[in-house]
């Protein structure tokens, strides 16, 4: 029987031999495992780099935010009276404010009903909004007049599906037409009252409610004409906000006042008659100083990360070179090079005052880090605050007061471009040829087909005799602007009456898409037999000497030109040379573009490189698994062979011993 334990039979060191042979077989696996360790370290390093890039991007985005460069900030003496915020066009100044009345919305309440779910009646409810001229007593107006604000009347239908008090409430709320409806239970014998609140404050947002369809119950519940029948009571009158600014009386429809002080928004909270409060508008240098220092510190942190990851050092004692996890990595080196290229390139097309970071006290040190001279930065803010935006953000400026920079695209090249206007945009208008008839008769001259900006719609005016052509014009404007087909596409009109009683309609849209035409039974009565209709035209002109793309009031730089995508709005003025539009991409904007590309989750260099490493790790894991399995088979084969050799040697040894013994006997 053969000996099975390795080396027992012959003394052959099978385990040692196999172990040494397998050590050789293990070398490819060891090399792959070492490479895996290196790749894993690179992945960790890339994660650190990516985190540092993201932190720097956050600081860059702060500087690339146009709101940062608001020249001023507002401080209010008593913030319980009002708060204030500023825009880019605010100017430093100090003001004294007194609020004598807050704006409020009109509220109406219906007569009480015994049930909120019992049918009342069918018909149509038409809501118009405007100003009530007159006074009320106990919620009712006497001898008052109502003048529509022209924003458009809205109509809802009341039928068997919604003709209860609850149904009417839901129909009004669903229409979202500027009125909120609720039901109040007052606890009386007929406790259920419909309460209506205008969603807009101000005197010009009072309600007039007309009921059509002839249903007496609905009419007696909902009709509300301040100049006529009033079925509802006014529980709160519409009021404007009343205030004085440095002794000048100001009246506004809203408690958010945006146009009393240029560039300053006032949010009124309460009245303060007898106790004026102050509003101080001053330079806001803290925000930009903080943002610049954050930019510097985050760049330095990023630079430190990149430097440590790619550093290579040589130990003279051991004569060995060591490197960071990304030493010699081309991806990281390219990122570092791109960052430094942006940092050391002057800004083109921006302010003459600042073109490099050192102009505001931010300088590059010998070790590649940034340092800030805060005194120089503060001086730059104090002396040229409005110019700093051009050093960091993507900004455009025009030299013509009636041509405004709007936007640019990634294809727009920084620079200053000449603007020439050969045609100014206009609005479509229709002018009557005779004075309008102020008496509207149902079925005779009350119907008008209006084609506004290419959209046709038929309207019906309320029959009756209007007090004046101006009153008729206001009603016509309200009716036209109340057409859903028009308002859905932001089309609207302004209707006026001249001194001779002639009506004029003007589209609120500019450009070739602006058109107004009328027809129908009421056309001749309202506008005469030969009204004049003029279609709007687009602005025309050039940017950088190349014909620009023109739509409405906007000119856009042509494709292929350095000004491609540069968009300006020409709001008026004459034809000919209109100065220049300057566009610059500041440091923050350039860094933002660069970082967005570097951090792209699918196409960015880091994402591409890490995806490649992960794929390599998967391949190596499979190779190691395959080699390990093969080595197990190899080891088994080695052991089988050496065990057989051991057995053979043992048998030969036994034969040798036997032969030696027999030879000894022969001797």
Separation between Cα atoms, residue 194 and residue 113, nearest integer Å: 9
Residue among 330, 314, 331 at smallest CA distance from 322: 314
At 326-374, the pLDDT tens digits run: 888 888 889 999 999 999 888 886 656 788 999 999 999 998 899 999 9
Domain-located, residue 501: yes
Is 7 a residue whose pLDDT tops 80? Answer: no
Residue with the bigger pLDDT between 88 and 470: it is 470
Q: Are residues 402 and 424 in contact, defined by beta-carbon separation less than 8 angstroms?
A: no
Is 425 a residue whose pLDDT tops 60? Answer: yes
Q: Are residues 281 and 264 in contact, defined by beta-carbon separation less than 8 angstroms?
A: yes
Separation between Cα atoms, residue 597 and residue 608, nearest integer Å: 12
Separation between Cα atoms, residue 461 and residue 478, nearest integer Å: 10
Q: Is residue 529 domain-shared with residue 617, that is, in the same domain?
A: no
Q: Is residue 160 domain-shared with residue 190, that is, in the same domain?
A: yes
Q: What is each CA distance from 71 to 67, 198, 380, 650, in whole angstroms?
A: 9, 37, 13, 100
Domain-located, residue 247: no
Is 58 a residue whose pLDDT tops 80? Answer: yes
CATH value at residue 621: 1.20.1330
Model confidence band, residue 639 (pLDDT cutoffs 50, 70, 90): confident
Is 609 a residue whose pLDDT tops 70? Answer: yes
Q: Is residue 342 domain-shared with residue 473, that is, in the same domain?
A: no
Domain-located, residue 574: yes
Give the pLDDT confidence score for residue 663 in this predicted structure.
Answer: 86
Is 3 a residue whose pLDDT tops 50? Answer: no
Give the pLDDT confidence score for residue 350 in this predicted structure.
Answer: 60
Domain-located, residue 469: yes
Separation between Cα atoms, residue 565 and residue 558, nearest integer Å: 7
Predicted model pTM = 0.69
- Domain end residue (candidates: 208, 239, 270): 239
Question: What is the average pLDDT across 284-306?
Answer: 91
Q: Is residue 232 domain-shared with residue 135, that is, in the same domain?
A: yes
Count the Cβ atoms, other than its own, within 10 Å of residue 117.
10
Residue with the bigger pLDDT between 334 and 322: it is 334
Domain-located, residue 244: no
Count the Cβ atoms, other than its own, within 10 Å of residue 577.
11
Is 451 a residue whose pLDDT tops 60? Answer: yes
Q: Is residue 275 domain-shared with residue 231, that is, in the same domain?
A: no
Quote the mean pLDDT of the chain. Answer: 91
Q: Is residue 152 domain-shared with residue 227, that is, in the same domain?
A: yes
Domain-located, residue 433: yes
Is 590 a residue whose pLDDT tops 50? Answer: yes
Lowest-pLDDT choice from 186-195, 548-557, 646-655: 646-655
Q: Are residues 55 and 301 in contact, defined by beta-carbon separation less than 8 angstroms?
A: yes
CATH value at residue 478: 2.60.40
At 402-418, the pLDDT tens digits run: 999 999 998 999 999 99
Question: What is the average pLDDT across 632-639?
Answer: 88
At 259-279, the pLDDT tens digits run: 999 889 999 999 999 999 999
Model confidence band, residue 650 (pLDDT cutoffs 50, 70, 90): confident
Bridge partners (DSSP) of residue 243 are 99, 250
Q: Report the domain count for the chain.
A: 5
Domain-located, residue 365: yes
Bridge partners (DSSP) of residue 497 are 503
Q: Is residue 418 domain-shared with residue 547, that is, in the same domain?
A: yes
Separation between Cα atoms, residue 326 and residue 438, nearest integer Å: 85
Is 6 a residue whose pLDDT tops 60? Answer: no
Model confidence band, residue 1 (pLDDT cutoffs 50, 70, 90): very low
Q: Is residue 460 domain-shared with residue 487, that is, in the same domain?
A: yes
Is 509 a residue whose pLDDT tops 50? Answer: yes
Residue among 245, 264, 247, 265 at smallest CA distance from 255: 265
At 92-138, the pLDDT tens digits run: 899 999 999 999 999 999 999 999 999 999 999 999 999 999 999 99
Is 2 a residue whose pLDDT tops 80? Answer: no
Q: Is residue 467 domain-shared with residue 609, that is, in the same domain?
A: no
Is 4 a residue whose pLDDT tops 50? Answer: no
Range of the domain at 479: 427-534
Q: Is residue 490 domain-shared with residue 618, that is, in the same domain?
A: no
Question: What is the average pLDDT across 289-303?
Answer: 94
- Domain end residue (candidates: 524, 553, 585): 585
Separation between Cα atoms, residue 279 and residue 272, nearest integer Å: 14
Distance from chain centroid for Cα 364: 34
Question: What is the average pLDDT across 617-622?
Answer: 92
Percent of the chain with pLDDT over 70: 96
Q: Is residue 413 domain-shared with residue 474, that is, in the same domain?
A: no
Residue with the bigger pLDDT between 147 and 419: it is 419
Model confidence band, residue 314 (pLDDT cutoffs 50, 70, 90): low
Domain-located, residue 641: yes
Helix pair angle (285-310, 330-343), 10° resolution: 150
Is 322 a residue whose pLDDT tops 80? Answer: no
Q: Is residue 516 domain-shared with residue 611, that is, in the same domain?
A: no
At 201-249, the pLDDT tens digits run: 999 999 999 999 868 999 999 999 999 999 999 999 999 999 999 999 9
At 17-57, the pLDDT tens digits run: 888 988 898 899 899 989 998 889 889 989 999 999 999 99
């Amino acid at each position: 029987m053969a000996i099975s334990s390795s080396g027992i039979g012959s003394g052959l060191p099978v385990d040692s031999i196999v172990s040494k042979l397998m050590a050789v077989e293990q070398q490819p696996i060891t090399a792959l495992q070492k490479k895996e360790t290196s790749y894993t370290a690179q992945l960790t390093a890339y994660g650190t780099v990516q985190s540092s890039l993201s932190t720097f991007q956050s600081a860059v985005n702060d500087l690339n935010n146009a709101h940062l460069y608001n020249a001023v900030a507002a401080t209010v003496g008593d913030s319980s009276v009002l708060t204030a915020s500023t825009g880019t066009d605010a100017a430093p100044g100090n003001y004294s404010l007194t609020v004598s009345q807050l704006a409020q919305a009109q509220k109406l309440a219906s007569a009480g009903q015994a049930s909120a779910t019992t049918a009342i009646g069918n018909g149509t409810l038409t809501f118009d909004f405007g100003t009530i001229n007159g006074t009320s007593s106990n919620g009712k107006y006497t001898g008052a007049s109502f003048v529509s604000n022209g924003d458009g009347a809205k109509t809802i239908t009341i039928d068997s599906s919604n003709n209860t008090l609850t149904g009417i409430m839901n129909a009004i709320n669903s229409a979202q037409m500027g009125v909120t409806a609720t039901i109040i239970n007052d606890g009386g014998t007929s406790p259920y009252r419909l309460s209506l609140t205008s969603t807009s404050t101000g005197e010009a947002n009072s309600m007039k409610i007309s009921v059509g369809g002839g249903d007496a119950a609905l009419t007696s519940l909902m009709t509300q004409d301040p100049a006529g029948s009033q079925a509802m009571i006014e529980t709160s009158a519409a009021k404007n906000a009343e205030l004085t600014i440095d002794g000048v009386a100001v009246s506004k429809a809203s408690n958010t006042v945006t146009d009393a002080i240029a560039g300053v928004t006032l949010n009124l909270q309460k009245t303060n008659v007898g106790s004026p409060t102050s509003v101080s508008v001053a330079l806001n240098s803290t925000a930009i100083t903080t943002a610049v220092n954050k930019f510097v510190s985050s760049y330095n942190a990023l630079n430190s990360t990149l430097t440590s990851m790619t550093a290579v050092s040589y130990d003279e004692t051991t004569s060995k070179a060591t490197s960071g996890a990304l030493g010699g990595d081309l991806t990281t080196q390219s990122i570092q090079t791109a960052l430094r290229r942006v940092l050391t390139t002057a800004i083109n097309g921006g302010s003459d005052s600042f073109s490099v970071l050192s102009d505001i006290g931010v300088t590059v040190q010998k070790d590649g880090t940034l340092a800030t001279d805060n005194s120089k930065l503060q001086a730059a803010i104090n002396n040229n605050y409005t110019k700093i935006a051009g050093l960091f953000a993507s900004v455009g400026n025009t030299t013509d007061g009636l041509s405004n920079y709007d936007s640019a695209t990634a294809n727009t090249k920084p620079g200053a471009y000449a603007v020439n206007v050969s045609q100014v945009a206009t609005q479509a208008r229709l002018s009557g040829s005779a004075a309008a008839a102020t008496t509207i008769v149902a079925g005779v001259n009350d119907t008008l087909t209006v084609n506004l900006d290419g959209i046709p719609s038929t309207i019906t005016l309320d029959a009756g005799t209007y007090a004046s052509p101006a009153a008729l014009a206001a009603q016509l404007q309200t009716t036209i602007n109340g057409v859903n087909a028009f308002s859905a596409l932001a089309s609207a009109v302004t209707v006026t009456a001249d001194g001779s009683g002639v009506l004029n309609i003007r589209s609120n849209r500019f450009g070739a898409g602006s058109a107004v035409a009328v027809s129908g039974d009421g056309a001749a009565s309202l506008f005469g037999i030969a009204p004049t209709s003029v279609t709007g035209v687009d602005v025309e002109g050039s940017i950088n000497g190349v014909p620009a793309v023109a739509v409405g009031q906007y000119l856009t730089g042509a494709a292929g030109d350095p000004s491609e995508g540069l968009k300006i709005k020409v709001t008026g003025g004459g034809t000919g040379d209109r100065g220049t539009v300057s566009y610059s991409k500041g440091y923050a904007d350039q860094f933002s573009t660069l970082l967005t590309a570097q951090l792209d989750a699918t196409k960015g260099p880091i994402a591409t490189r890490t995806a490649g490493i992960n794929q390599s790790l998967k391949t190596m894991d499979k190779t190691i698994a395959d080699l390990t399995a093969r080595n197990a088979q190899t080891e088994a084969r080695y052991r089988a062979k050496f065990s057989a050799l051991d057995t053979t040697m043992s048998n030969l040894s036994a034969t040798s011993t036997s032969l030696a013994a027999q030879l000894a006997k022969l001797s």
